[in-house]
């Protein structure tokens, strides 16, 4: 293996169910959600630099190319925690829409942590990497593992569950970016209808696709849908065109639809394209990584 350069896949996530249990003293919200990875991914390429510096570049997408980038923050965190004197050149091929509720930035950060663990020879376990990830953002720990999991706390406590049955996922994003902080701030936690997370876990573990579609729920819709009516319009459109189940992912604005049949996903894809510019038909990944090296391609 040429250990000077590695390339890591950084997949997006969707939330099959998202509940908020209350506001915490640290300003964050206590959540309970079911997350799963989908096959829409950025690619993060890391090049070992002998000089003690971090450089960052990205193709496509609208991402900051400085210390605000979550991949940059991941590299800096490892440098500071372990006193690393080597450097890294980070290159992100951006495919996941930004500020979309799909955790693109968190997944880039997770991929950077995993890749640098190899490139800088840190010898961390995947659980240690996930704990470090939580310092960067609430969704980073999940992104370190991928797969399907129940996330609690502020999102950083991960309990793996079986993957749902394979299906198609249609992602549609209106041309707006949503601030996660604003959505949480505007949520009225006293007055929300909670989704049944346990029923969703049962549906997934029972491999019951119809029940999964029935149990989809996200309390953050109560904030984002009234703020951005186009999100509700996309939801209605997907329902009308024949998705088996439809939900907004995370804080939005991306809406996802679930489908078992390829012919139908293609039909709905074409129906939405006239209405919404960013539409992606992808597969549910569902399975997590057995170990680090599964996601890392040697160059």
Annotated binding site for ATP: 97-107
Nearer to ligand SUD, 58 or 251 (CB): 251
Catalytic residue among 13, 32, 173, 235: 13
Buried b (16+ CB within 10 A) or exposed e, 241-252: bebbbbbbbbbb
Residue 138 contact partner, candidates ligand SUD, ligand ADP, none, CB within 5 to 8 A by sort of partner: ligand SUD
Strands 87-93 and 54-59: parallel
Of 58, 66, 10, which Cα lies nearest the Cα of 38?
Answer: 10
Q: Which of residues 50-109 bind ligand ADP (CB under 6 A)?
A: 63-64, 68-71, 92, 98-106, 108
Nearer to ligand SUD, 7 or 174 (CB): 174
Phi and psi torsions of 137, nearest 5°: -170, 160
Residue 66 annotated among the catalytic residues of the structure: no
3-state SS assignment for residue 246: strand
Catalytic residue among 19, 108, 139, 244: 139
Of 33, 249, 251, which Cα lies nearest the Cα of 153?
Answer: 33
C-beta of residue 278 within 8 angstroms of C-beta of residue 272: no
Residue 74 contact partner, candidates ligand ADP, ligand SUD, none, CB within 5 to 8 A by sort of partner: none
Partner residues linked to 245 by β-bridges: 258
Residue 134 within binding range of ligand ADP, rule CB under 6 A: no
Which residues of this protein are in contact with ligand SUD, per CB under 6 A?
A: 15, 18, 28-29, 31, 33, 101, 103, 106, 137-139, 154-155, 180-181, 184, 250-251
Residue 63 contact partner, candidates ligand ADP, ligand SUD, none, CB within 5 to 8 A by sort of partner: ligand ADP
Give catalytic residue positions: 13, 139
């Amino acid at each position: 293996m040429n250990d000077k350069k590695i390339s890591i896949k950084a997949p997006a996530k969707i939330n099959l169910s998202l509940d908020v249990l209350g506001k915490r003293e640290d300003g964050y919200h206590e959540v309970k959600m079911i997350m799963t990875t989908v096959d829409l991914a950025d690619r993060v390429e890391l090049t070992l630099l002998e000089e003690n510096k971090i450089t960052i570049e990205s193709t496509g997408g609208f991402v900051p190319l400085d210390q605000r980038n979550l991949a940059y923050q991941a590299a800096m965190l490892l440098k500071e925690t372990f006193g690393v004197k080597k450097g890294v050149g980070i290159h992100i091929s951006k495919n996941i829409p930004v500020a979309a509720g799909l955790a693109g930035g968190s997944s880039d950060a997770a991929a950077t942590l995993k890749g640098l663990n190899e490139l800088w020879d840190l010898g961390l376990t995947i659980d240690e990497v996930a704990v470090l990830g939580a310092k960067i953002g609430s969704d980073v720990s999940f992104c370190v593992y991928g797969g399907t999991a129940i996330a609690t706390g502020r999102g950083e406590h991960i309990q793996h569950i079986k993957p749902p049955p394979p299906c198609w996922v249609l992602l549609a994003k209106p041309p707006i970016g949503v601030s996660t902080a604003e959505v949480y701030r505007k949520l009225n936690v006293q007055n929300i209808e909670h989704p049944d997370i346990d029923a969703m876990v049962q549906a997934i573990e029972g491999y019951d696709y119809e029940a999964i579609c029935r149990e989809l729920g996200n309390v953050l819709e109560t904030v984002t849908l009234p703020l951005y009516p186009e999100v509700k319009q996309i939801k209605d459109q997907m329902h009308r065109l024949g998705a088996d189940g439809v939900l907004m992912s995370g804080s939005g604005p991306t809406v996802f639809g679930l489908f078992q049949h390829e012919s139908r996903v293609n039909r709905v894809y074409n129906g939405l394209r006239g209405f919404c510019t960013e539409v992606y038909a992808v597969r549910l990944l569902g399975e997590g990584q057995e170990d680090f090296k599964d996601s890392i391609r040697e160059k």
